[in-house]
Each structure stands twice: as structure tokens, then as C-alpha cells.
Copies of this chain bind each other. A is one copy, B any other.
């Protein structure tokens, strides 16, 4: 016999008050457990949530105030809609939620942490049931804003167990180091890194760190690494590549922070009459459609976009339903060999 048995037998649809009575707490405490769980002790929360499950209490046929909160709408704030960098993951995220009748609203922050915070605030104000975020790097205030309003969130595209947030992603540093191992094995000792802008972008930061760490481990002098930062656009990639090619000794490989930069680098190599990979190798990161369609095809890091998007939706729905946060989920990224990486000349 559970402590909720009495109420269960009464036959009516359980209300917030029923949960409060059975758990021997106030209605306000039940509401906090459901909507602002961080404001309640773990012990109280566990007791209340057990009763919630036992009674089969569901906000949408329970208290009206709670019912009104549930909108079956989730939000996502992504850094950009350009170049389809996040498109495949987002599509999988949306498809999974669509199967549960949930609508997705997406805002794009242009890689601006301040703008991202406004958009998070806006989505919370519009009453979304949960928010998907890209990467961990953002002002603490952005997380607090969601926590205070009891809006669950999940961080994607980056696995970092030192971070206290629900997340699903891959280890950007480790993935880049796996690629660099191949680059170094192929004899490259002078490396150009065409990095995305690292400020506010842990993916870009960790990938760049992976390049430096790999070279250090292989005993290659830090001077042999030249880094240029560029925003993620084909034009910026082309300009960055041209800049790296002026360095003497000239890099034999240009490792790019993502496929968009690598596509720009390829275009510029062609314009400069450089053969890829004969004269210079180029690598990408992400494995978006672009990586396959360019000539030569890009050797790149394949990111499990669909698996990540689907997983993020599952985590978010569980959190929305009041389940305890799961530990960070790590996905594997792998090297995808095409033609753009070859032996050092």
C-alpha cells in the first residue's frame, strides 16, 4: 500500500490538492516541484514526484494554472540558420517532437551571447515547454533565467561532463584530436588552423585546443601552427585560407573549424591554382551536405547530427514531464575520409 492509495480509490481525476494532501506538503510546494524543481530540496521533490506518479497526476487535466502552462511548443536557439550547419540536427529534433504533437519555434542568435539571452527570455515569455541550446558557453544569467521560470533545457553539440547542465553531444576536442592524429601521420608538420570565432563558442574553442594539443603531443613546435579566426562563411573561409598561404614556411595542411570554412578554403585554393591535396591538404568538420558536394570531397569529422537532434528531443520531453535530469550523454564523432586530405608534399 502506498501513501496515495486513499486518493487513488476515490475515482476522480487527481488534482494538485490531492497530490499535496498525499505528499503532506502545501499546494505551492507541489507546484514548485513541477515548475521550479531547483527551489525544492531533493528529498521533498522525490516525495512529491513519487506521489505525482502514483496518482497519475497530470498537469493537463489537473489544476488549471498548470494546464495553462503547457503549450506543446518547444524552442531552440541556434547560432545561425545559414549554411545548414545546424539544419540536419534541428530537423531530427523537430521530427521527433512532431511525432508527439509538439511544435518547434527556432530563433537565431548570430553567434551573439547577448542576443541569445534576449531570445531565451522571449521564448520563455511565449510559454515554451522547453528549450534546446547549442553548446555550453553563455552567460550564467541565461541559464538562471530558464531555471527561475522552470523551463527545462538541454545543451547540444558539445559534451563536457564538467558542466552542470543536461546535455547531449560529442567531445569537440577529442574529435579534432582524432583527425589531427591522421594529419600528423600523413607527415604534415606545418599546420594552418582556420578556426571559427572562439568567443562564446565552446565548439570552436575546443576544436582549436584539440589541434594545439595534438601537435604538442607529437612534439611539433608551437610555432609550426598558424591560426586565423574567421566567421563561418564561405567568403571568410576563402579570405582566411589566402592569409594562411602567405605564411612561410607555407602550411602543408589547412585544418578548418567547420565544413563551411573548408569549402571557402577549397574555392580559394582553386582560385590560386593550388591542387588539393597535391599542393595543400584541407580538412573540414561537421559533414554537412556541402562536404560531399565540393570537389575534391572534404575529409571531415562526421557529427551524428540526427542522433543528437533526436536524443535532445527525448531528453527535453522527459524533463518537461517532470523526470529527473539524466547525466550528460556522449555521442561518438568519427572521421569521414574523402579526397581533400593527403600526404604532406
Complex partner residue of A104 from B88, B108, B234, B295, CB under 8 angstroms? B108
Q: Check: A13 CB closer than 8 A to any chain B CB.
A: no
Partner of A126, one of B105, B289, B293: B105
Residues A81 and B105 in contact in the complex (CB < 8 Å), given A126-B126, A293-B263: no
Count of identical protomers in the assembly: 2
Question: In the bound complex, do residue B84 and residue A82 qualify as a contact, i.e. CB atoms below 8 Å apart?
Answer: yes
Q: Contacts of A126 on B, CB cut-off 8 Å?
A: 71, 73, 105, 126-127
Cβ A81 vs Cβ B107 within 8 A: no
Interchain nearest-CB distance for A339 vs B (Å): 12
Interface size of A as a range: 35 or more
The reply to whether B108 and A107 contact each other, CB–CB distance below 8 Å, is no
Contact A87:B81 (CB < 8 A) given known A104-B107, A106-B107, A294-B294: yes
**CB atoms of A105 and B103 under 8 A apart:** no
Q: With A90-B81, A122-B73, A289-B83 known to touch, is A108 a contact of B106 (CB < 8 Å)?
A: yes
User: Which of B83, B292, B294 interacts with A87 by CB under 8 Å?
Assistant: B83
0/1 string, A93-136, CB within 8 A of B gives 1: 01000100001111110100001001100110111000000000
Is the beta-carbon distance between B293 and A267 smaller than 8 angstroms?
yes
The interface residues of chain B lying within 8 Å CB-to-CB of A197 are none
Task: From the candidates B82, B86, B122, name the one contacting A88 in the complex (CB within 8 A).
Answer: B82
The answer to whether A103 touches B122, judged by C-beta atoms less than 8 angstroms apart, is yes
**CA of A103 to CA of B263 in the docked complex: distance in angstroms?**
31
Point out the residues of chain B lying under 8 angstroms from A91, CB to CB: 80-82, 108
Contacts of A115 in B (CB 8 A): 98
A-B contacts besides A91-B108, A98-B115, 18 pairs, CB < 8 Å? A73-B122, A81-B84, A81-B91, A82-B84, A82-B87, A82-B88, A82-B91, A83-B87, A90-B108, A104-B107, A105-B123, A106-B106, A106-B107, A234-B289, A234-B292, A263-B293, A267-B292, A290-B293
